[in-house]
Amino acid sequence: MTEQERPEGWPCLLSDEVAQLLLSRAVSPALFSAIIALTVVINETRGDAPGHTASDKWPELRRVALGADGSLGVAEYVVVAYADEPHSVLTRVQPF
C-alpha cells in the first residue's frame, strides 16, 4: 500500500484536564508514556483502540486500560466521527 493509498488517522486531542496531568511533575514516566502511546493508537485506529469498552447509551465514549492489565489506570476518550474533521478527544485519565 502506498502512502497515498493509506488511510490517514484522526487527530487525538487532549482535554484541558489531561493536558494538565501530562504537565504535572508528579506523573510517573511510565504513565506519561502510556498516555502518549494511547494517543498514537487512537489516532492510527481512528478511535477504535484495541481492548476499549464503550457505553451502551453513548457508544462514542470509550474506556481503555493503561499499562499492563490496567496497572497504570484507565483513560476515557470520545470519538467524534461525524464532525467536518473527524477526531477523538482524550477526556480523562484516572491513574491508579
- Angle (CA) 48-40-69 rounded to 5° is 70
Q: How many CB atoms lie within 10 A of CB 45?
A: 16
Report if pTM > 0.85: yes
% of the chain at pLDDT higher than 90: 88
Residue 7 is predicted with a pLDDT of: 64
32-63, pLDDT tens digit by residue? 999 999 999 999 999 999 999 998 999 999 99
